[in-house]
Structure formats: C-alpha cells, structure tokens
Amino acid sequence: MNKFYITTAIDYVNAPPHIGHAYEKIATDVIAKHYRQRGIPVFFLTGTDEHGIKIQRTAAEKGISPQEFCDETANKFKEAWELLNIKYDRFIRTTEPDHERVVQHIFKTLVDKGDIYKASYTGLYCTGCEAFLNPRELTEEGLCPNHKTKPQEIKEENYFFKLTKYKDRLKNHIKNTPGFIMPEYRANEVLNQLKDVEDISVSRSKESVSWGIPVPDDESQIIYVWIDALSNYITGAGYLNNDELFRQFWPADVHMIGKDILKFHAIYWPALLMAMEIPLPRTILAHGWITIDQSKMSKSLGNVIAPKTIIDAYNLENGDPLRYFLMTTTPFGRDGNYSDEEFKNKVNADLANNLGNLLNRSLSMLVKYFDGHITTETGFSEIAQMAESTKQTVIEKFNTYDLTEAAEAIISLVDTANKYTNEQAPWALAKDEATMPQVGQVLYNVLETMRFVSVLIYPFTPNIAQAIWEQMSLPGNVFDVLLSELKWGGLKQGKIASQDTVKPVFLRLDSELAGEKKKK
C-alpha cells in the first residue's frame, strides 16, 4: 500500500455536532493515525454539507444569510474536532468555490454525455433526508422511516440522472468485489435496494430551493444537495484543482459513513463515478448509531449530547476518555450506546485502574529500588512474545477495520502485564539482595510492555499515549514511532524516572454528568 485516503461523511450544518457525529470522526481519525504509524502517506478528509432547503429555512428563521449561518455552524464542528484531537488533512465545505466548480463540471459532463436529462416529475420528498423517497421505502403509516414525518408531494420539472443505465454494472461490482461494502452483511441490503432503483432527480426548481449550486446553463434549477455533497470526496482529493494530489490519493480507500446514508454512497455515488469514468472507492464502511441510555438521540426527547458537554462535566483535560469509550464498547458496524454509568465504569476500569495503575506502580518501584534506573536489558520472554504478537494482531484488526477488537488486544496485553507483575511480586523479591537482579528484570519486562502499549494505543488515546511515553523519558514523541520499528528491547539502560516525575497518566472519573434537575 503506497497511500491511504480516508473520508468521513460531511456533516449537515443544520445543527451543531453531537456524539453521533463524534463517533464517526473519532473512528476515522483512529484509522488514519494507525495507518500513519505504518509509514503510509495518509490523506484524511472531513467537512460540512452546507446547501439545501433546511439550511435556507433555518437561516431565515434566525434572520441571517445562509452563508452566515453555515460559517457559524461549520466553526462549531471544527472546534469539536480540535477538542477531540481529530487531525484531518482538509476540512472541506460545500460552499467553497473549488467545490462548486467540480459539481458544475460533473453536471455539465453528464448532460453532454446524455446521462442527465430533463423531465417532469411528481415525487415524495423528505426534507429531513433531503431526498425523494420511493413509496415502498415508507412505513405503513406513509412516513419516512428515519424522521417519522410525512414526505411532501412535489411536482417539478427537474433534471434526472440515468441511474438505471448503471444498475447491472453496479450490481456486478458489489457481488464481485469483496470488501466494497463493509460490514459485508450490508451488501445484501444494497442489492435489495438496487432491485427497485429508478432514475433519480438531480436538481430542484429554484422556486423550491434557492440555496445551492446553480445548474450550468439553466439558472432556474439548483443542483440536488446529495449530488453536491457526494462530490466532495473528489474535490477534497484535488479533482480539477490539484492533479498531483488527485493522482496520488484517488480512489478513496475508505468512505466512513453512517448506515442511514448507505444507499446514497453505495448506489448513487458509484453510479455517478461510473458515468464520469472515475475509479470507484475501495471500501464503503457503514457504522451504526450511538443511542443515549438505549434511546435514539432526538431533539424532542432532549437527549442530544455534545462531546464538549461530557468533557466539561467530568472536568477532563482532553477527549481521550470519550475517544476510548466510543471505540471500545461496540463491535464496529453495530449500534452503540452511551450512558453516564457505562462511560465512567469503562474508562475507570481500563484507563485508570488497569493501564494507569500498572505504569504508576511499576515506575514507583523502579524509583524505590533502583533510583529510577533501568539496570538490565532483557532477553526474549513470554511477555515479549505476547507484545510482539499483539502488535501483529492490532495490524490485522485494522486491516479489516475491527477497531474494537484491536483495542481489546491492547488492553489484553496490559492485563497480561498486570498478571505477570502480580505473579512475579517484585516487592517480595526486593526483600532479598540476592534477587534484586530479578526485580530489575521484572520491571524491565513490564515497562518495555508499556512502551509497546503506548505506541499501539496512540490512535485511540493520543494524549495518554504521549503521557506514558514522557513519563518513561523516551526520546522524541510516541506518534513518530513506526510500527515497523517497534521491536522488543527498545528500552535502554539508564535513569528514566524520579519521585517528581511519577504521577497517574489518567485519574479516575468521580463526577456525574447530569442536568440541573438531576443535580438538584
């Protein structure tokens, strides 16, 4: 692999970010950080989706222009991702001039090719989805299955994309390309949707929607917001604007998306790329939703939680605990759940009691018995073998984007080191001068394991990983260490700790996340 291009869905700016948005961005960032550890050039794209009727209406309600509203909300997303240590290479906004140029180029190219045509249309439009829905997609009550609202019947003369022209080719690609849609069980869902596929409207009358990219050579029409949004993936990679970047990184290796927008990404987007004769993305990775106390997040229920709310409520120094919790509590692709109790219990058990306590007591013993000096360099032991095999397991799990299992393997290594420490009981061995070399050997093995752990866990908890690295006085930064260079025996003889430097890398969470009513 000579490059790795990963994208998130771009977030609709009608509302500020919540932990559902954060889940996707954290997962993408974790994968990007891991692939950077492999020494592979990575390009990580995220951003905001800023056109459509909902933006137009919300801005009007606030008495500001749509662009002012988009600017305000896009900044909220940027601030949230900075708080969570999400390091993207580009934050794309669909109101940017280079993106408008790409979208209009796609539209005009497909009109000239005959793949986009104009026709009258009557359809059911869900404003929440910003999409026309097939009657077969509605609930028995005639409602949108996602938003539980009745779609509006719209009669317009619009432009249509010949999606049916690419139906068989797309079906064959899905069937014959393992890993194109992940998890694999989602592929059958898409194939079932393909059975009923029709040509799709790719524009709206300007009388209905004025906030969007104009159709080239027809000022009476606005390009459909989903065609606009999906095209961000090639704009972000330099299409039409940076040929060198586009040649290096396209096709995308992973489109990370929510399961509710799989149809747009696994049917509409590949068909558009086929029509444009642009290579298809390698993998469309659909994740589940995050519920709150087993209930779907909803404004009406008042259970929408922003990442900053959790970080502030627990007085956290950074977003590592939330990153860790969201990545480790749910098999990837399935729905996950957030609750105060689960959050506190999980991060206290794994990060404070297990990982943090092991490092703290090991360094404390090193200071007590050897004045903070590593006195030996170990031979190959069973724990060394497990450290090496854990590294390989983590790599294999990331190959299939099993983030939860990768994290479990790392914590399992910490468990093994804790068990090894308890079995060897260096505090008991230290009572006899004759066994002091053995004490030094045990502490070396544990601390060298912690060096491995700091590198492996870095994508999940970058701040905690760096804190471990610094407490052990290791050279440089943990994020500069390539996995290919991570080999047993890297911890060298010499002083690495003192009484003043040994402190917990993660403190237990004892505060409660609660609204004012609960606090009273």
The residues carrying an active-site annotation are 18, 21, 126, 129, 144, 147, 296, 299
Q: Are strands 90-93 and 131-133 parallel, antiparallel or unpaired?
A: unpaired
457-492 CB burial, b ≥16 within 10 A, e <16: bbbbbbbbbbbbbebbebeeebbebebeebebeebe
Q: Which two tokens stand for residue 168?
A: 């068989």
Separation CA 332–CA 442 (nearest Å): 36
Distance (Å) of CA 135 to CA 68, 162, 164, 483: 36, 20, 18, 51
3-state secondary structure of 366: helix
Backbone phi and psi for residue 290, each to the nearest 5 degrees, phi listed first: -105, 120
β-strand partners of 56? none
114-138 CB burial, b ≥16 within 10 A, e <16: ebbeeeebebbbbeebbbbbeeebb
- Rounded to 5, what percent of the chain is helix, strand, coil? 50, 15, 35
The DSSP code for 352 is: I
Q: Which two tokens stand for residue 239?
A: 């299409």
Separation CA 371–CA 491 (nearest Å): 16
